[in-house]
Amino acid sequence: MHPIFLIVGIVSLASVLCGCGSSPTVASRKPMQGTAATARAGETPRSARDLVPAVVGIPNDAAVAASHQIAQGDVLDIKVFQVDDLTTQERVNDAGAVILPLIGPVRVAGLTTEQAEQTIASALAKDYLQDPQVDVFVSEYADQEVTVGGEVEKPGVFPLRGQTTLLEAIALAGGTTNLAKESEVIVFRTTRPTDSISAYVVDLKKVERGELGDPQLVANDKIVVPKSGSRAFISDVTSTLRGFISMRAITF
């Protein structure tokens, strides 16, 4: 074969191989709606569970409180502003209620803490107090768990005992290994009632240094500590803080 044709053939083959590489994890510069992504023309469509929207940063603490529904066995700290005699700590009983001074049983199971505050305030306002201000805080969760996997010493499923943060959960798993990529720890969270999944990419070192808040976890959060050298989070060329993470290569 003539040398010129040989060179052209090698160049063409290289071009084809480059085009056959793995498709990018980021499907769009915009955050994905729900858990499905639209493939580009010519790409193989990805399953709804393959890609989830990802954001660099910690989850919103306000969303944490709003997302938890009080359950039987939860322990609630209940405070009534400027009425110390009504401040109490109660466990939600099998009927889904707490027994409170003056008003007796109040059903709170299935409510968020904000809804429970409104329910208790309404009961107090009916016969006892004028415009009561009630604060409800879940001090202990019942039968709720988080999963910690990847590059930690003791991967596993751990119960939530009261308010648990990301650092505390990783400590329960024995801490990170020497191979951990601590700059891209991923928190997968399922939003109820839609069951949509989102991911938060957290720089653990910044949390440890106090440059980022230590995010509070909720039931069924899944934390993955990737291996150093892996590319768990993919952002687009504009360095946007949003992108997508593939769950297909990640096991819990």
Choose the final residue of a domain: 113, 140, 167: 140
For residue 40, is it within any domain? no
Segments forming the whole domain that contains residue 134: 69-140
With beta carbons less than 8 A apart as the criterion, state whether 68 and 115 touch.
no
Do 124 and 164 lie in one domain? The reply is no
Do 55 and 88 lie in one domain? The reply is no
Do 93 and 218 lie in one domain? The reply is no
Do 206 and 228 lie in one domain? The reply is yes
Looking at residue 235, which CATH number applies to its domain? 3.10.560.10
3-state secondary structure of 98: strand
Do 147 and 239 lie in one domain? The reply is yes
Do 60 and 166 lie in one domain? The reply is yes
Q: Quick one: pLDDT at residue 219?
A: 83
Q: CB within 8 A of 52, min separation 6: which ones?
A: 32, 35, 188, 197, 198, 199, 244, 245, 247
For residue 43, is it within any domain? no
- Rounded Cα distance between 5 and 13, Å, is 12
Q: What is the CA radius of gyration of the chain?
A: 24
Of 16, 27, 54, which is closest to residue 245 (Cα–Cα)?
54
State the total domains in the chain.
Answer: 2
For residue 171, is it within any domain? yes
Q: Quick one: pLDDT at residue 56?
A: 84
Q: Report CA torsion sign: 43, 45, 50, 54.
A: positive
Choose the final residue of a domain: 114, 140, 166: 140
Choose the final residue of a domain: 109, 140, 171: 140
The list of the chain residues with pLDDT below 70 reads 1-50, 61-67, 192-193, 230-252
Question: pTM surpassing 0.75?
Answer: no
For residue 114, is it within any domain? yes
pLDDT, tens digit, for every residue of 128-151?
999 999 999 988 888 788 999 999
- Rounded Cα distance between 76 and 205, Å, is 33
For residue 22, is it within any domain? no
Do 103 and 170 lie in one domain? The reply is no
With beta carbons less than 8 A apart as the criterion, state whether 49 and 247 touch.
yes
For residue 193, is it within any domain? yes
Residue type at position 119: T
Do 239 and 167 lie in one domain? The reply is yes
Do 92 and 159 lie in one domain? The reply is no
Do 77 and 132 lie in one domain? The reply is yes
Q: CB within 8 A of 250, min separation 6: which ones?
A: 149, 150, 186, 224
Do 79 and 168 lie in one domain? The reply is no
For residue 32, is it within any domain? no
With beta carbons less than 8 A apart as the criterion, state whether 162 and 139 touch.
yes
For residue 196, is it within any domain? yes
Do 84 and 152 lie in one domain? The reply is no
